[in-house]
């Protein structure tokens, strides 16, 4: 994940972000790279949490919980970017002569930015009601950073899970619709060429 996305980003930068497709894939590679980078410490901490010393200043499971929600944000951004790419591809085949005027570099960049900010607004209540705080450990005579959540976290968690399910379902429906439109247009194009 990390290496492949880093290579993708380098290739897109080297070849230039000249069109909407390359900009979209570049944005997807960035969000996938960040999500993959967030999984590395989570995986490490989950694998080795039992062997970490209890006298450390940071609780490994607390870091894992905290990073999980940031990972979820970047995963959702990748999901939205993938859906946007499906719409771009569908539009390119269904309406090829209007594609360049509709999806310019600026419009694509703006659309990806707006979609990412919308995704951030879905995650912001959850991200703002969690964190790490100091907790005195009298047994080891130290202050450890532990995971905390606000008192209304259950309500926020329920709303976020519901919106996450709606987002995932909506993205899947849009991708399936684009697939049907793409397939029917390609079939019609093939029949036109054969006749």
Task: Please report, for residues 63, 78, 79, 104, 146, the alpha-carbon distance to residue 167 in angstroms, rounded to integers and kept in the order given.
Answer: 26, 12, 9, 26, 31
**CATH code of the domain containing 68:** 1.20.1070.10
Q: What is the mean pLDDT of the chain?
A: 89
3-state helix, strand, coil in the chain (%, to 5): 75, 10, 15
* Domains: count for the chain: 1
In this structure, are residues 29 and 2 in contact, taking their beta carbons and an 8 Å threshold? Answer: no
Residue 10 DSSP code: H
* Model confidence pLDDT, tens digit, residues 175-192: 999 999 999 988 888 888
Of all residues in the chain, what percent carry a pLDDT higher than 90? 55
Sign of CA dihedral 43, 70, 76, 4: negative
In this structure, are residues 27 and 78 in contact, taking their beta carbons and an 8 Å threshold? Answer: no
Q: What is the pLDDT of residue 10?
A: 95
* Model confidence pLDDT, tens digit, residues 18-43: 889 999 999 999 999 999 999 998 88
Of all residues in the chain, what percent carry a pLDDT higher than 70? 97
Q: What is the 3-state secondary structure (H, E, C) of 115-170?
A: HHHHHHHHHHHHHHCEEEEEEEECCCCEEEEEEEECCCHHHHHHHHHHHHHHHHHH
> In the structure, how many helices (H) and strands (E) does the chain have?
6, 2
| Residues in Cβ contact with 87 at an 8 Å cutoff, skipping those fewer than 6 apart | 174, 178
Domain housing 86: 2-194
Name the more confident of 163 and 141.
Answer: 163
Residue 14 DSSP code: H
Adjacent-strand bridge partners of 136: 143
pTM of the model: 0.86
């Amino acid at each position: 994940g990390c290496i492949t996305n880093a290579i993708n980003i380098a290739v897109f930068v080297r070849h230039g972000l000249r069109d909407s497709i390359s900009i979209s894939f570049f944005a997807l590679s960035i969000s996938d790279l960040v999500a993959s980078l967030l999984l590395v410490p989570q995986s490490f901490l989950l694998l080795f949490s039992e062997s970490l010393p209890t006298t450390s200043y940071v609780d490994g499971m607390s870091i894992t919980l905290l990073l999980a929600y940031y990972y979820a944000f970047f995963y959702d951004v990748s999901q939205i970017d993938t859906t946007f790419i499906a719409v771009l591809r569908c539009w390119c085949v269904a309406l090829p002569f209007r594609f360049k005027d509709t999806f310019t570099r600026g419009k694509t960049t703006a659309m990806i930015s707006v979609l990412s900010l919308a995704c951030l607004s879905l995650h912001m209540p959850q991200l703002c009601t969690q964190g790490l705080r100091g907790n005195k450990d009298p047994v080891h005579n130290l202050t450890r950073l532990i995971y905390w959540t606000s008192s209304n976290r259950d309500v926020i968690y329920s709303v976020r899970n519901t919106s996450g399910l709606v987002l995932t379902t909506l993205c899947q429906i849009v991708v399936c619709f684009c697939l049907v439109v793409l397939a029917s247009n390609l079939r019609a194009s093939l029949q036109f060429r054969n006749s």
